[in-house]
A and B are shown apart, each in its own frame.
Chain A
Amino acid sequence: MNKVKIFTAGIDLGSTMTKVLILDGEGKSRAQVTGATGAEHRRLANKVMAQALGQAGLSLEEIGYIVATGYGRVNVPFADCQVTELTCHARGVSHLFPSARTAIDIGGQDAKGLKIRDGKLVDFVMNDRCAAGTGRFLEVTAETLGLRLEELGELSLKAASKVEIGSTCTIFAQAEMVALLSQGRPLAEILAGLHQAIASRVVKMVTGLKIEADVVFTGGVAQNAAVVQAIKEKLGHDVLVPDEPLFTGALGAALLAREIALKCLANGKTIPDKERRLEEARLYEDY
């Protein structure tokens, strides 16, 4: 059935970043593009999509099926269907690492743990109410210190020891950090403390799933080597990180899109063909 060539796309409209990934007829990645989901960019998810289409040299009509996921999935007018980021991440993770049984994903505002069996999501935990221990923590840090996000991890790995960060509140951890700096604590050690704080919060949350190897770590924060290191230490064993952890959700979405499309075709049905408009996406419905 894989004879049919069909392009599919996944769009992961996260709280912080929008990610689009397009798969070609063979199921290989043809384009992947990210954009910030900032206050004004968020509405422009279509721009990121358009860029990805440009990269792939395709038009919207040529994409057989589009799955939207992430925080802003609920209203993406050019998607054919919405699937939660939990399912999409699980799908992406098990595609990249068929041996994965646990996945930890830390994004801009959420952190989640996924339990995967035979490539399928069977259980999960995620944060709510409080954004402590998420990527936001790092963004705020970078902003306060005038550093780039990419620098945080490496700097922190240089620390000889680490400072204990008491605040759990994302927003106040920043203030605490400032205070520590003014006490003359070395930057690297403070950063090490912050990374530890994120890792312990997330690992504590994920213990609720009874972690089993292999553990895969994804999401934007997985690009930060210090968090990866801290999570390894807390878990007491290795974790696998994809080459492009940011795209795991979008990849999962595109893979699901492909599955759905192929299934429809195999059953002799036409792919659900609803009208697509490449226009603004909304975050959540008004209700």
Chain B
Amino acid sequence: MVNWWQGDPILKAMDVATVYPEDYGAVCAAFGAAQAYLEGAEADGFPAHMCGYARNCLGYTARMIELGEIPPEAPMGGMPQPSLLLASGALCDARYKWFQALGRYLDAPLWVLELPHPGVKEGLMEGAGEGNIYFIAQQLREFISFLEKLLGRRMDWGRLDETVDSTMEMNRWWHRANELRRARPCPMHSRDFWSSMPASLYMANDPGETAGLYRQMYDEIKSRVDNKIGALKAPERYRLAFLELPPWHSLDFFNQLAERGWNFVIESWAYHPPRPLDLDRVSDPLERLARYSYHWLTGYYPKANQAEEWWGYFAYPYLEYVRDYQCDGVVLHPLLSCRTATNHLMMVRDRLMKKLKVPSLVIEGDIVDLKLFDPARALSQAEAFEETMDHYKKLRKEAGLGW
């Protein structure tokens, strides 16, 4: 599963192929195949309010084990049976609990990598950051010795070194490409973001190659910016942010909004690469990884602290995004099955309004379970929300907020 570059470069350097069940959950949702797996998980007693990706994966795995092979109906050839499960403690409980629950079906070893989530003040206490980084690096070391035992081969440290570097290189281009989206009109819509982001987050390919692709993308977006080409066919009337995960099964919904001139210019913080970090002087690749992932989560802390925003990673970044990308409004997508992507939304809504006078529209739904999303209801609120955005645009001007 996604581990925000903690474990992936290590697996790559040891030639372990990776498969990401969240990604596959989105695939199943997009292909309309998820419903049966969700029901399968429920039939096995997993409550329906749990993460759609997890239930999809549990249901799929149960079926695969029952059949003794990849289910014939599985979209895109299915997911193979894994020989190792690497769970991540970053961002949510669901993920390590879910891989543990896979133990009901799979006889595969399971390793969990943690990522500390300090509070803003606690994270900025003397020595706290270094202590956390030490802990991450230590865990990575333990993971490597486990892998070496499991695979019966040694880590090629030189290769790891390179992989870590190209991972960061990849994200650097991807980050730069996203920075270009500040332009008016915005050259890249969230839909394109969602289809390009898996390469960075689900590191199934060689990061060096991916870096090249992101670089090409950067060039393409750059030329769009230079020629003032926007992502929409219609003129860009509103610039919006989308929080958090999209309804993978109903992406069409965005096309209808695009016709109204709604351009989605920035989205989920957790899917974005970290801002570049200079680690040239850190020679130990594990320490580089530890610093990099930790920076991804806590890089915003000093500024959040100044702004007295105590939720430094999931709530504060949006204050910057919405300002930097000059959003007129925000669409919030609380997920019935995901606490992590939902917990902060009300708070973000409140902070954005108080600090930046940017309104939000709440549309409830789910990532995988299409029964929980009602596009018609959502679209019916769009018109009124335009009026709201117009209203706050005026207020922002009056308050000298600038966009």
Contact = CB atoms under 8 A, between A and B. Distances in A.
Check whether chain A touches chain B (CB < 8 angstroms).
Answer: yes
Interface stretch (B37-45, B176-184, B209-217, B283-291): B37-45
B107 interface: no
Nearest to B36: A207
A265 interface: no
A122 interface: no
B374 A210 contact: no
A209 interface: yes
Given A204-B39, A207-B39, A166 B376 contact: yes
A166 B377 CA distance: 10
B376 A209 contact: no
Nearest to B371: A168
B66 to A, nearest CB: 11
How big is the A interface, by class? under 10
A207 B40 CA distance: 8
Interface in B6-64: 39-40, 42-45
Contacts, number: 14
B337 to A, nearest CB: 15
A183 B313 CA distance: 49
B42 A207 contact: yes
B43 A210 contact: yes
A106 B44 CA distance: 22
Nearest to A166: B374
B178 to A, nearest CB: 36
A208 interface: yes
Interface in B362-403: 374, 376
B43 A207 contact: yes
Interface string A196-211: 0000000010011110
Contact of A209 (B40, B43, B374): B43
Nearest to B46: A208
Nearest to B40: A207
A271 B376 CA distance: 62
A207 B37 CA distance: 12
Nearest to B42: A208
Contacts of B43: 207-210
Interface string B208-241: 0000000000000000000000000000000000
Interface of A: 166, 204, 207-210
| 5 interchain residue pairs of minimum CB distance | A207-B43, A207-B39, A210-B43, A208-B42, A208-B43
10 contacts: A166-B374, A166-B376, A204-B42, A207-B39, A207-B40, A207-B42, A208-B42, A208-B43, A208-B45, A210-B44
Given A207-B42, A208-B42, A209-B43, 11 more contacts: A166-B374, A166-B376, A204-B39, A204-B42, A207-B39, A207-B40, A207-B43, A208-B43, A208-B45, A210-B43, A210-B44
